[in-house]
Amino acid sequence: MKKKAIFITIEGLEGSGKSSVIKFLHKFLRLKKFSVKIYREPGSTRIGEKIRNILLDKKNKELSRHTELLLYLAARTQLIEERLRRDFSKYDFIICDRFFDSTLAYQGFALGLGQIAEKGVKMFSLGIEPEITFFLDTQVKVGLKRLKNKDRIESRPLSFHNKLRGGFLRLAKKYPKRIKVIDASGSLDKIYNQIQGSIVKKFF
Ligand code: TMP
């Protein structure tokens, strides 16, 4: 039978500690002898990394919000067509550091592109949807304080980041089966336990 990887995405506010959660999850799944592939968005392909540089470069002040949306979608489509589709038959688990919920929250809610972002996501995710998504929720100000050398998106005003959190929480309400909200202000052990518990319950 053809293998079909379980697709997990990790979403979060700025400075919410996604990287350490991904490292933990990777280690946990590898200990259980699963094959695991990790990607990040935008990026993880040669073209996607170039797009990422355009998107995050603080010098690109004139980048319009519609162009921003299109670039995030373009990076994602490249990742799906170049890597993800192929990898679904090669790995047990694929973990992606951000995916389309970020577009819905950042461009859809926080930048106000609403339905255009929704339509774009639908068209250019090419039918790929995560089985489970962890949203790492933190206090906006606490997360932002953790950042050094803020990029173009991180440098946006507090009001943007507050809207962003509201956007993610609305998505979690809309898709309660898929999106698990994790209180990322607690201890690492507590965060890891919640994530591990959800994975075990759903997939083992
Ligand atoms: P990262 O720094 O968490 O890797 O993500 C890159 C930045 O891009 C982060 O500020 C979130 C933002 N982003 C969007 O605005 N829309 C998207 O669709 C994605 C994937 C990321």
Identify whether the C-beta of residue 99 lies closer than 8 Å to the C-beta of residue 76. yes
Cβ proximity of 96 and 5 under 8 Å: no
Tokens of 1: 């039978």
- Residue whose C-alpha is closest to residue 105's, from 180, 164, 152, 153: 164
The torsion angle over the Cα atoms of residues 107, 202, 194 and 23, rounded to 10 degrees, is: -70
Residue 2 pLDDT: 64
The answer to whether 166 and 158 are in contact (CB under 8 A) is: no
pLDDT values of the chain reduced to their tens digit, one per residue, 204 residues: 566 999 999 999 999 999 999 999 999 999 999 999 999 999 999 999 999 999 999 999 999 999 999 999 999 999 999 999 999 999 999 999 999 999 999 999 999 999 999 999 999 999 999 999 999 999 999 999 999 999 999 999 999 999 999 999 999 999 999 999 999 998 999 999 999 999 999 999
Was domain 6-203 assigned CATH 3.30.70.1070? no
- CA of 102 from ligand 1 middle (Å) equals 6
- Note the pTM of the prediction, 2 decimals: 0.97
Whether the CB of 40 sits within 6 Å of ligand 1: yes
Q: Is 191 in the pocket of ligand 1 (CB under 6 A)?
A: no
* pLDDT at position 81: 98
Q: How far is the CA of 58 from the centre of ligand 1 (A)?
A: 14
Distance (Å, whole) CA 39 – CA 172: 22
